[in-house]
Amino acid sequence: MIRHALIDNLRLQVLNHEPYLDDSERKILAAREYRSQLRSEQYIYGRLLLKLLLSDYLGVDVRSLSIRSASSGLPELYIRDAHVSYISVSLSHDRDQLFVAVGVRCGCAVDIQLLHGIHWPSVIRAMGWSHHLNTWTSMDRDPAFYPALSLSARCGLLWTGFEAWMKLTECRFSPSTFAWTHIKLVSYEPASSSFIYKLNLAPRCPYYDAHILLMFRHNVCYAVSTI
């Protein structure tokens, strides 16, 4: 289950966030001492999105839910102060964009990345991925229906896949161990100009059996990783 939103839209829907944060969440927010209002809003509204998603799925009052931080720093779900281990939660933000997901009886991690304002060739060189960047394949269909992605789009998608994988592994491995065999287009929706890709990890990569889906839409890259 996934959900995406813009912070400006959420501001219109939630004028008072206090009823949606419990004492533990408020303490975590205060301890982080964010210097910008946007960072605080990312924290608040990201958790609100998760709670709305979970409230609908579980059929419980949104105020009974709490999104706290594990020792690793990753979010985890509590219902009435009891940790729910069979549900994993993940959230990501970039500027005014929020992206969250819930995994039931599976590990789940997400990432979102806007393309603008980043010199992607420098990022790819720094990560040591330059010679692997062209390991993409596409579906066996008329290429006219699948416009080629720009270099920035391909770099951004790869980065979000890496970030989602890092969250899924709780950052227990070095970034240099991240390796893939290919990235394949699995669907394209002309109406929304959305590309959906699957990133296949190499057998030598930790958690290589993880499923990683990537989406590119309107210069924003998304990744969802599950295992």
* The predicted structure's pLDDT at residue 94: 94
* The predicted structure's pLDDT at residue 12: 52
Give the full edge-to-edge strand order of the sheet including 2-6. Answer: 2-6, 97-104, 87-94
- In terms of Cβ atoms closer than 10 Å to its own Cβ (0-12, 13-18, 19+), residue 4 is middle
Q: Which residues of the chain have pLDDT under 50?
A: none
The C-alpha atoms of residue 84 and residue 157 are separated, in whole angstroms, by: 31
* The predicted structure's pLDDT at residue 5: 65
Q: Is 58 helix (H, G, I), strand (E, B) or coil?
A: helix
The token pair that represents 44 in the structure block: 């608040």
> Tokens 């059929």 appear where?
59
* The predicted structure's pLDDT at residue 214: 96
Q: Which domains does the chain carry?
A: 2-104 (3.90.470.20), 112-226 (no CATH)
The C-alpha atoms of residue 77 and residue 46 are separated, in whole angstroms, by: 13
pLDDT in tens, 89-130: 999 999 989 999 999 999 999 999 999 999 999 999 999 998
Cβ neighbours of residue 200 closer than 8 Å, sequence gap 6 or more: 180, 181, 182, 183, 184
Q: How far is CA 13 from the centre of its chain?
A: 23
Which secondary structure element, helix H or strand E, spans residue 190, and what is its range? Answer: none
Closest by CA position to 45, among listed 72, 15, 71: 15
CA atoms within 13 Å, Cβ hemisphere of 60 = 13
* The predicted structure's pLDDT at residue 134: 74
Alpha-helical regions (H) of 128-210: 151-168
* The predicted structure's pLDDT at residue 191: 82
